[in-house]
Structure 1
């Protein structure tokens, strides 16, 4: 099967085309979806659940906008994928807020909450009371609505049967990570190390913190959602996409996220995977190695230029963040990562700054 036959989804192949679709379609359509969820979140009866749901949309909107790049395709797939990606990412962001600022430290509570992410990827799953193990209960159907929206969208993806096992694998790893990283601080590192021991043969070249970071990304799931819009998606093609995104593209995504959040996490007492390197130089070398591996990995799946733009876009978006200039070590690492950047990364860097200045202020 040639590349053209494998790839029925029509993704942009150059930066100008991609950003044109982002400005014209992705940003307005993602924001329209988020407006709907914000309206529903405003009606959540429980004050703590309402607070965290609204805060997750307010402070993490850019997660949905970034994920929306995987919906930069023609109609009708674009609207299905946008709705699906926004709903799935909103579950992730909402639960991250609930667990980060949790009134509970019960790992079983965290696991039950994140069962919603597994149910969201299974069109046959019956939603349950995801709050059964915590004090706050009444969200007015908010989380259930997010789950059933994902399920309804998935039923419209003709290639989903081939993608589902690989999506479920990534969702399961994500759930495990969220459980272990949010338990009592004195227990987190040991729990994560023991979990890594169970999986280290999958990524023997990665350190434990890098493996954990790779499991925290939703990009592999979004790419598989996009691939599932192709009715000709084969099991082998889905497996290849999974292997091309996990671990390196996913790891790069989350390591960059942690890189710029170091000071914020220190103040909040939150775990940060960048803190486990002996020096900024070692951290830089490891991230640079992961960048190189990610670039090689995406050569094996259809439309490599699109996936290379994802990698360069990740570097541009995170390294252009205002948080970088506020942290001396991060600023130094950022400058060295940006040194000798290809034109594509510089193009996305400029666009990222423009979007922040004109669309967020």
Structure 2
């Protein structure tokens, strides 16, 4: 955490400041509005992802700009699709092609706005993609991890397409997709599998792993299995857990709303926590990844939204019961950060 505070957070914020300034120069008012909002309201996503740069400080000059640029693409596109003037799945898929191209160093850039009326971003999205491409090209072990990263990126893009289409169609579309892809985690329910595909943490972990020139494809596959589905699923299920009231009011899909009871939801999330803890024991630098798990629980369960929702508060208390010292540290740390830095 001293590395995070001393090096990573300041550099993440410097990088975000550059992209914020670029966003302010976007000519199209709707694209400009969503680009700025995605940075101003979701800065903590980049800060959280920046933890992986603390795993290899000597490579942070590559990892920080890479993680910030990739997460900024994700947050920007999420805003564009969430508050979209379109419900066209082809539009959403073309937009998210940028995330696949970003992790493919030799990919040609495309007109990602071709299927929507808002188009002129003065090269903002292309610049984000190019930054990712140039940074991944400098990671010495990236060739070994690229296919695993692309697979996670592809699944992420699929989720964003089906999640943002017409509300009357999205649940069936997600279930049909799960029938096709769910073999990757057959023990998960459809909503849990979808949640697991919605996290960028597995990609960031593989960016860090790619700093090792000796990384092999077998190593990369094992590391991906260490994060997907359980660590990734835990990340997004906790995010949805605390957003239930907000999503209900906004008519947004929430993956925690598909259980028959709060106790059933608690049992499933608890089993995902145990799966995540077990999985990370199989990959190198286990303490870092265990820290991520405990940090996720602490970060989300310490959120002020928890105390505003009675059922969520009960679930939170049960998940926090018997917490290890690491989680308690991050719980206190998360509250301090919210109070003093935001």
Question: Which TM-score tier does this pair reach, normalised by the shorter chain?
Answer: over 0.9
Report the Cα distance in structure 2 between the residues aligned to 1:136 and 1:268, rounded to whole angstroms: 23
- d(CA) in 2 for partners of 1:334 and 1:41? 37
CA distance in 1, matches of 2:305, 2:201: 22
Q: Does 1:263 align with 2:245?
A: yes
The one of 287, 299, 306 aligned to 2:269: 287
Match of 2:116 in 1: 134
Equivalent positions of 1:163-178 (< 5 A) are 163-178=145-160
Paired position in structure 2 for 1:4: none
Q: Distance in 2 between matches of 1:259 and 1:275?
A: 9
> Counterparts of 1:242-321 in structure 2 under 5 Å?
242-321=224-303
Matches within 5 A, 1:36-47: 36-47=18-29
Question: Does structure 1 residue 182 correspond to structure 2 residue 168?
Answer: no
Q: Which residue of 2 aligns with 1:338?
A: 320
Q: Does structure 1 conserve the Cα–Cα contact (< 8 Å) formed by 2:56 and 2:208?
A: no
Gaps of 5+ in 1: 1-18
Q: How far is the alpha carbon of 1:209 from its aligned partner?
A: 0.2
Q: Give the Cα separation in 2 of the matches to 1:359 and 1:248.
A: 30
CA distance in 2, matches of 1:91, 1:303: 28
Q: Distance in 2 between matches of 1:232 and 1:184?
A: 46
Task: Report the TM-score when normalising by structure 1.
Answer: 0.94
Superposed CA offset, 1:234-258 (max 9, x none): 1111010011100000000000000
Displacement after TM superposition at 1:215 (Å): 0.2
Query: Residues 291-338 of structure 1: CA distance to partner in whole angstroms, max 9, x if unpaired?
Result: 001000000111111111000000000001111111111111101100
1:56 aligned residue: 38
Query: C-alpha distance in 1, partners of 2:81/2:220?
Result: 31
Give runs of ≥4 in structure 1 deviating > 3 Å: 73-76
What is the correspondence of 1:1-361 to structure 2 with a 5 Å cutoff? 19-360=1-342
- Aligned counterparts of 1:76 and 1:145: Cα–Cα separation in 2: 25
CA contact (8 A) 2:226 2:282 kept: yes
Separation in 1, partners of 2:56, 2:178: 40
d(CA) in 2 for partners of 1:185, 1:38 = 31
Task: Count residues in correspondence.
Answer: 342
How far apart, CA to CA, are the structure 2 residues paired with 1:245 and 1:235? 16
TM-score normalized by the length of structure 2: 0.99
**Contact 2:242–2:306 (Cα < 8 Å) also in 1:** yes
Q: Report the CA distance between 1:74 and its aligned residue.
A: 4.7
Output the CA distance in 2 between the equivalents of 1:88 and 1:74: 18
Name the Cα RMSD after superposition: 0.7
